[in-house]
Each structure stands twice: as C-alpha cells, then as structure tokens.
Amino acid sequence: MTTGTQMPIIEVRDLVLAYGTEPPIMRDLNFSVFPKEIFVIMGRSGCGKSTLLRHLIGLQQARAGEIFLFGKNLQAADEAGRNALLRRMGVMYQGGALWSSMTVLENVMLPLEEYTSLNLRERKEVANYKLALVGLEHAGNKYPSEISGGMAKRASIARAIALDPEILFFDEPGAGLDPIASKELDDLLLNIRDALGTTMVIVTHELDSIFSVADRAVFLDTRTRTVGAVGAPKELRTSAAPHIRYFLTRAGTLK
C-alpha cells in the first residue's frame, strides 16, 4: 500500500515496554501505521508482541515513550480523552472472548447497547448486518458452544466492528485454526479492510498470514530488545540481518 503524504493514524515514539521494576522487554520502539493499512507486529515467542498490543489499546501504561492515536497522545490523555480515543478502536482477542451465556447475536449487540442510544430493533439490525459481513448471518441465535472455532473468530470480528471503528486490533487471530480456516480468515480481513476502509494492526507469527495480508510489518528483535526492521514482509525476507531472514523464510540454519 502507498502511504504517500498521509499522516499516520498510529505513531509510536521511543516506547519502552516493561513490567514493574523488571528490565525492559522492548525499548526505543519507533514506527507508524497509516490509514487503511494492514500492519503486522511479528517476532519470536516472548519478544513482547502481545505486550505491545496491550499498550496500543490502552490496557497497559508504558514505562517511557509516547503513543499517538489520530494525532493525540494516548499516554498523556485524561480519562475522557482516552475513552474518546478508545471508542474509535475495536479489538479481537486471541481466544475470541465471547460471553458463553449470550447468543452470537447478543454478543455483537453488547457494545451497541453499552455505547449507543439505538433501540432494540436498531441494535438487532446493526448486529445482523455485521454478522452478514463475516458470513454468519444464520448463526445469530446460536451460543458460542454451538459453533466452530472459525465461526467464533468471525463472531468476535463482528463484535469488534459493531461500532464501526477506524482501527481494528487482532491478537493472533488465526491461533488454533486449521490451514483452510486460517486462509478464510485472512481473506475475510482483507475484505473488511476493502469494504470498510478499516486500519488493522495484527499480532501474529504465522508466515502464511503475514505474507497474505500485511502491507507492512514491524519485527521485534529479542536480541537487541528493540525494532529489528520495519517494511513490507516480502522485502524484509531478503534483509541483511540473518535472524530476520530466518524468521521469514525458515530456511537455512540460524547461528
């Protein structure tokens, strides 16, 4: 995707990720995400991918550095300002996080009930439309225990887009899916981006998904504990850094 002269929708500046007084997991993180881009956060297990995601969605405060969403500093915002920024985002968690006591339709309606003044009929109409977008128009009356893992992922996406967010965040969306279901989910993400113009940030280590959906990616380097590279995955595959090449090709021997 061509960013041209667009302003970034997300900008991370000198971010330091750490828990308590422990040494930093990652430091000096700098990268930008542009509108309508699918941006992947990748790296080896334990590099801090999900921790970074929690910082980006406001669940964790950074030890140092800044996160700008829509040009506004998330870290420095007051409660009202933070809530206004977070309302413009949707999140799909790794396990789906659907409420087991609610039907699929009720799960998708939940954010509409919480954050809008729509009446019951209007909430149902919006929720059914979002379920149709993810191919679940006939599953609204089922409970999470009655649908497959792939369907649960789609239902979680429908809930994440219920409020028409400008940014969607995904934590390992393909985890636990077979290759066919994972490919179908990748296609769905591309279709949603194209249909709704949504910016997406995805945490994943699955190579097929990285090369299928990502416009650009950031590689979190466990050796240096900072950004190893930022760019299109196909370009990073020929990186001068052997450990980045190895991660993206799984070819040769990493020394």
Please check the confidence at residue 255 and state whether its pLDDT lies above 90.
no
Is there a domain that residue 7 lies in? yes
Query: What stretch of H or E contains 72?
Result: strand 72-73
Is 2 inside a domain boundary?
yes
- Domain containing residue 37: CATH number: 3.40.50.300
Q: Percent of the chain scored above 70 by pLDDT?
A: 95
- Whether 62 is in a domain gets the answer yes
| Within a domain: 40 | yes
User: What is the per-residue pLDDT across 8-41, written as a single tens digit (0 to 9) for each?
Assistant: 999 999 999 998 889 999 999 999 999 999 999 9
Total number of domains in the chain: 1
Q: Is 250 within the bounds of a domain?
A: yes
pLDDT number for residue 4: 52
Comparing C-alpha atoms, which of 46, 49, 69 is closest to residue 58? Answer: 69
Determine the pLDDT at residue 75: 86
Residue 95 has pLDDT above 90, yes or no: no
Classify residue 130: in a domain, yes or no. no
- Phi and psi at 221, nearest 5°, equal -95, 115
In a domain, 211, yes or no: yes
Q: How far apart are CA 39 and CA 44, in angstroms?
A: 17
pLDDT one-digit tens code per residue, 56-68: 999 888 999 999 9
Whether 252 shows a pLDDT value over 80: the answer reads no
Predicted confidence band of residue 2 (pLDDT cuts 50, 70, 90): very low
* Residue 19 belongs to some domain of the structure: yes
pLDDT at 142 over 80: yes
Across 24-48, b (16+ Cβ under 10 Å) vs e yields bbbbebebbbbbbbbbbbbbeeebb
* Residue 226 burial (C-beta neighbours within 10 Å; 0-12, 13-18, 19+): middle
Q: Is the pLDDT confidence value at 159 over 60?
A: yes
pLDDT in tens, 213-230: 999 999 999 999 999 999
Find the domain containing 61 and state its range: 1-88+201-255
Strands of 10-17's sheet in order across: 26-33, 10-17, 64-69, 72-73
